Amino acid sequence: MIQFNNVSKRFTREGKSFWAAQNINLDIQEGEFITVIGPSGCGKSTVLNMCAGLMKSNGGEIYYRGKLVEKTNTNVGYMTQKDNLLPWRTVKQNVEIGLEIKGVSAKEREIESAKYIEMVGLKGFEKHYPQELSGGMRKRVSLAKILAYHPETLLMDEPFGALDAQLRLILQDKLLQIWKETKKTIIFVTHDLEEAITLGDRVAVFSKRPGTIKLIQDVNIPRPRDTFNVRFTDEFANVHAKLWEALKEEFIEEGNVG
């Protein structure tokens, strides 16, 4: 459904140019949940930006349902690292933004926003403003906002990065339920290896900059997965060992791991 064919991206900063991502090859199936992990600055967000059509590659092509991605890809909902909620709009009004842009009627917007606010567990908070919410609640609003737009595919860039460990598990669980109900394709970037394994059908490991895919690992842990206990299974331990072996090298060369 989404194909990255030898995709590379080069940036220039202060007169020097460098490759942020190089020769990315990845084939993502419809309905797949793929997680992406790699050291900081290895080009993970850059790859999502290119998939969303917000940035052009300097080599290779990205195809979405067989069509070359050349401009903003409206089939994807992009949840960036920052939540991008508008502070002067309530939860409900934030969730309805995409629908307003699409020209959906107020009545229909009301139904849709109520559905997704409930789905992310925020019923009762419709009239709150973003600054009145906790970090985890703001992430939920962002998720509801994207889901209400009905994208086929979700691009998620460390959506739970700043949250404490317990809340992460709760939101991971919620996301897996939503994924099951809505059957979306998800590309999920994370720094957290346990999160990558808990969620993914496959985990793609990026090397350090210039990021390239060094391993794609299947995660054959049966679903539905219990995000609270999945880490205690043998398959989790096996996959974790393989992925850490690949990932560790990227940090060792940086001198970060002894």
Ligand X SMILES: Nc1ncnc2c1ncn2[C@@H]1O[C@H](COP(=O)(O)OP(=O)(O)OP(=O)(O)O)[C@@H](O)[C@H]1O
Q: Rounded to whole angstroms, what are the CA distances from 83 to 87, 186, 253? A: 11, 18, 33
Distance CA 120, CA 116 (A): 6
Report residue 162 CA to chain centroid gap: 14
Provide, rounded to whole angstroms, the least separation between the CB of residue 153 and ligand X.
18
Task: State in angstroms the smallest separation of the CB of 211 from ligand X.
Answer: 6
Q: Of 44 and 240, which CB lies nearer to ligand X in the complex structure?
A: 44
Provide the pairing of β-strand 185-190 with 33-37: parallel
Q: Is the peptide bond before 130 cis (omega within 30 degrees of 0)?
A: no
By beta-carbon proximity to ligand X, the closer residue of 19 and 129 is 19
Could you list the residues that contact ligand X (CB under 6 A)? 11, 13, 20, 38, 40-46, 209
To ligand X, the closest distance from the beta carbon of 91 in angstroms equals 27
Q: How far is the CB of 166 from ligand X (least distance, A)?
A: 23
Of 50 and 120, nearer to ligand X (C-beta) is: 50
User: At its nearest, how many Å lie between ligand X and the CB of residue 76?
Assistant: 17
Sheet holding 16-28, edge to edge: 16-28, 2-13, 59-64, 67-68
Nearer CB in complex with ligand X: 77/211: 211
**CA Rg, the chain, in Å?**
19
Q: How far apart are CA 175 and CA 164, in angstroms?
A: 16
The residue (of 41 and 124) whose beta carbon lies closer to ligand X is: 41
State which residue, 46 or 75, has the beta carbon closest to ligand X: 46
Could you tell me if 197 and 225 are in contact, meaning their C-beta atoms sit under 8 angstroms apart?
no
DSSP for 197-224? HHH-SEEEEEPSSSB-EEEEEE----SS
φ/ψ of residue 155, rounded to 5 = -105, 120
Q: Closest separation between CB of residue 150 and ligand X, Å?
A: 26
The nearest distance, CB 234 to ligand X, in angstroms, is 30
Name the residue nearer to ligand X (CB basis): 18 or 244.
18
